[in-house]
Chain A
Amino acid sequence: MAHAISPGKPDAIDFLQIDGMLSAEERLLRDTVRQFVADQVTPHVDDWFNDGVFPKDLVKTMGDMGLLGMHLEGYGCAGTSAVAYGLACTELEAGDSGVRSFVSVQGSLAMYPIWAFGSEEQKQEWLPGMASGDLIGCFGLTEPDSGSDPGSMRTNAKRDGDDWILNGTKMWITNGSIADVAIVWAGTDDGIRGFIVPTNTPGFTANKIEKKLSLRASVTSELVMDNVRLPSFAVLPNVAGLKGPLSCLNEARFGILFGAVGAARACYETALTYAKERVQFDKPIGSFQLTQRKLVEMMVGVNQGMLLAMHLGRKRDAGTLSAEHVNFGKLVNVRMALDVAREARGVLGANGITLEYPVIRHMNNLESVYTYEGTNEIHTLVLGQAITGISAFA
């Protein structure tokens, strides 16, 4: 028999009591990251964003905590569940998408391919230092003329005796200019292969992209490889073809579908507080029907997004998550987050355009999140193919 439904006291933020779905261990981990963000990120992030500075000092602290490559097993990694990784991304991105991007790139795009496709020697050489934050990684797939269609890449690696010679340009590379090691995907006679490239290798340069209005607390770079000579053991031995880089992107997208909820939550919380305090026509603007509707839509979006993320996280930990589920999550949750951020910006009026409040920073950041790791359009078409059996793009 069903229980009776009675009036409750729902929380204005965690309206659906999603907290109750978390284990004590998951809550402790979530609270630890939340505390880290409150102590180390939130008080300074407006200046980082304004000045275009990535907080490199935080990398070691994040490594000490176990945030880097946290869901990987062994080699100094914490080996947490997928849900734990997702919750950490939510809290980091509630601080700033740039900080979460750093962790996504380090763990899911740079460490994961070494962990999944590397030789034992490669894992031993790179993963412990990357987990501790002593070494920073980046991931080179996208090129100036090759975005949603990575198969069209021009970067190539050719054999020269036992060595490889790498040539090409990679674009929009998070962490590029601060990285110690780059995972670079290049066309070879055997299809697309991944290479571990120490960034001090002669012929490798990283140029920071300065004039951007999004993810300003994160480093974005162009990588140029001009006859970069690599030893035979630089190639990732256990993968060939696009499934290598695409599996890394699925890893990162999983973190993003949790992370975007954090950015949305921060915007909604800010708008809710503001609407209850801001007085116009002798009453708080939160008492107007138009504003209440906005607040409710934001609350619904954030809660639905978190429910979706938790569902996909639980499926992943149960071993039943498919790539298309990740496409679903990234498509829906980033779109939701951007809608919430824009709505919150409106609620804050002119104050919404300043860095005194986190909203426009999140809003501008989410424009990048909307595009990177698979554009909203491509995720839509992947789902279109999944339900019709017809590919619209390849």
Chain B
Amino acid sequence: MNIAVCVKQIPDPATPYELDDENHWIIRPEDQVLDDTDRSGVEVALQLAEATEGTVTLYSMSPSGTLQGIRQALAMGADAAVLIDDPALKGADALTTARVLAAAMQQEGFDLVIAGTESTDGYSGIMPQMMSEILDVPCLSFARKVDAGDGSVTIERQTSDGFDVVEAPIPALITVTAGIEPRYPTFKGIMQAKSKPVTTLTSADLGITNTVHQVIRSVEPVAARTAGEIIEDDGEAYLRIIEVLEQAKVV
């Protein structure tokens, strides 16, 4: 099975993000890390590839930088990476991103596409679904477990009170939750990562010209948390607490 995995290099979440003054876009350092939620996607892909003697190819649209995040996914065991690195795509909206990644996958070929549910820096959560429409394949979302069958895939779709079992023929697109425990890169994998093939494309290589940028009109800091209400207990405080909980509609 030829598995395509969407991965994203993001600024290290451990350091505070800075936005540029003009466009309010995240300032991306040379050195970006693999989005933590993508580690689960890579893990699922590797398990499926091991079960089906398949291959795992990473797809990412971002400035290459030092490739630190991509190398991490390659070190986990992915076979190759296709990177779309194009200044014209800076600030691209979710639909443009979906079109670009889908075009790259169509060009390279795939049986299954795996993505995280949403990126840690953008949080739109809609890009994979857009891709499935463009690729014209079924979308199985919020998978907490994935099994490959003969010409099909079956997932356990996480719901608020349990899970649904969903099956679809391949080719298909799956989004995976962070609940799937990723493996650590092996040291051998880390050393081999730099010799794995990384193909870099531009939007022109994919025949995509009409790219659309998102416009962020303004950014407001999160309002400071206001002080809570302190209830002095004169023996009747529980009545006030019940009242507050009822107002919050939690009881």
Contacts and interface: CB of A to CB of B under 8 A. Distances in A.
Interface of A: 24-25, 27-29, 31-32, 35-36, 61, 64-67, 70, 78-80, 84
Contacts of B33: 31
A59 B172 CA distance: 38
Nearest to A64: B186
Given A29-B190, A32-B190, A79-B191, A24 B185 contact: no
Contacts of B72: 28, 31-32
B186 A66 contact: yes
Nearest to A19: B31
Nearest to B12: A31
Interface string B172-191: 00000000000111111011
B114 interface: no
B187 A24 contact: no
A112 to B, nearest CB: 17
Contacts of A28: 68, 71-72, 75, 185, 190, 193
A29 B184 CA distance: 10
A149 B83 CA distance: 59
Contact of B187 (A31, A35, A80): A80
A25 B186 contact: no
Contacts of A66: 186-188
Given A24-B66, A28-B71, A28-B75, A80 B191 contact: yes
Interface bin, chain B: 10 to 19
A85 to B, nearest CB: 10
Nearest to B183: A64
B49 interface: no
Contacts of A61: 184
Contacts of A35: 184
A166 B33 CA distance: 53
Contacts of A32: 72, 75, 184-185, 187, 190
Interface in B1-48: 33
Given A24-B71, A25-B194, A28-B75, A70 B66 contact: no
A79 B190 CA distance: 11
A188 B193 CA distance: 48
Which among B71, B72, B184, B193 has the greatest number of chain A C-beta atoms within 10 A? B184
A36 B190 CA distance: 15
Nearest to A81: B191
A67 B66 contact: no
B67 interface: yes
Contacts of A29: 187, 190
Given A28-B71, A36-B184, A65-B185, 20 more contacts: A24-B66, A24-B71, A24-B194, A25-B190, A25-B191, A27-B68, A28-B75, A28-B190, A28-B193, A29-B187, A31-B33, A31-B72, A32-B72, A64-B186, A65-B186, A66-B188, A78-B186, A78-B191, A79-B188, A84-B187
Question: Which of B33, B183, B185 is the most central at the interface, judged by chain A CB atoms within 10 Å of its CB?
Answer: B185
8 contacts: A24-B71, A28-B68, A28-B75, A32-B72, A32-B75, A66-B188, A78-B188, A79-B191
B186 A24 contact: no
Nearest to A67: B187
B184 to A, nearest CB: 5
A38 B183 CA distance: 14
A270 to B, nearest CB: 17
Given A25-B194, A28-B71, A78 B66 contact: no
A78 B192 CA distance: 11
B196 to A, nearest CB: 13
A333 B5 CA distance: 44
A27 B75 CA distance: 13
Q: Which 3 A-B pairs have the closest CB atoms?
A: A66-B187, A78-B187, A66-B186
A214 to B, nearest CB: 29
A36 B193 CA distance: 19
Contacts of B194: 24-25
Contacts of B67: 24
A143 to B, nearest CB: 35
B82 to A, nearest CB: 20
Interface string B102-119: 000000000000000000
B184 A65 contact: yes
A70 B186 CA distance: 10
Given A24-B68, A28-B68, A70 B184 contact: no
A342 B69 CA distance: 38
Interface string B60-91: 00000011100110010000000000000000
A360 to B, nearest CB: 26
Contacts of A65: 184-187
A108 to B, nearest CB: 16
Interface in B178-227: 183-188, 190-191, 193-194
A36 B182 CA distance: 11
A79 B186 CA distance: 12
A167 to B, nearest CB: 40
A42 to B, nearest CB: 15
A227 B198 CA distance: 60
Contacts of B193: 25, 28
A311 to B, nearest CB: 23
A119 B66 CA distance: 43
Contacts of A78: 186-188, 191
Nearest to B36: A35
A176 to B, nearest CB: 27
A66 B187 CA distance: 5
A32 B69 CA distance: 12
A32 B77 CA distance: 14
Contacts of B185: 28, 32, 65
A24 to B, nearest CB: 5
A25 B186 CA distance: 12
A36 B181 CA distance: 12
A393 B188 CA distance: 43
